[in-house]
Chain A
Amino acid sequence: QSVLTQPPSVSAAPGQKVTISCSGSRSNIGNNHVSWYQQLPGTAPKLLMFENSERPSGIPDRFSGSNSGTSATLAITGLQTGDEADYYCATWDGSLTSWVFGGGTRLTVL
């Protein structure tokens, strides 16, 4: 049971938009920045978004992040088959004094 809640899977057609939610509480998302990670099959995770909505260099602007209260959202527009991966949200939990991850969301591009 993950501290952060993500949908297990989402899907959409190429070219479409998809959003992935990450729900937490005041002790984590409510008071700390959220980051997002993309894990392609058989590879290490890669940072996709930090400080809720900042993209590292090299990440296309098709990826965007937002944060509202105790929830965060990753949006991907112009879906490509290469976007098929597992996506994870993470943040620091001040009450637990630990990093916490969401359970992960598998994106399928139909």
Chain B
Amino acid sequence: EVQLVESGGGLVQPGGSLRLSCAASGFTFSNYNMNWVRQSPGEGLEWVSNIRSSSSGIYYADSVKGRFTISRDDAKNSLYLQMDSLRVEDTAVYYCTREPLGGWAFEIWGQGTMVTVSS
């Protein structure tokens, strides 16, 4: 079964850091482009970051550029999001998503992990 499982969320103070992880299973992780998408409470979906297969390309939303770093470890079938200088407005559920091969969409979603930035 194709599955994405996020972890690492929690409560952090403004200015703090947090590292999210996404464990992938059921498919050849290294072949796929991966993304992080977030959703603030009661709000819509917001794309955060994208990393191409083989880390051949990396993109960030302007709202997180310079503060967040996406990475992947294909040997561990894992995706990461290092979040530094966190702000209250970064409070959201963070979803790990997989694109289809050769396609443009968020095909597979994890269950999400909640990040709360508050003093």
Residues of A near any B CB (own CB < 8 A): 2, 32-33, 35, 37, 39, 44-47, 50-51, 56, 86, 88, 90-92, 96-104
Contacts and interface: CB of A to CB of B under 8 A. Distances in A.
Nearest to B102: A51
B27 to A, nearest CB: 15
Contacts of B60: 98
B91 interface: no
Interface residues of B, number: 23
A35 B47 CA distance: 14
Interface in B61-107: 61-62, 95, 100, 103-107
Nearest to A6: B44
Nearest to A56: B107
A35 B44 contact: no
A50 B44 contact: no
A2 B107 contact: no
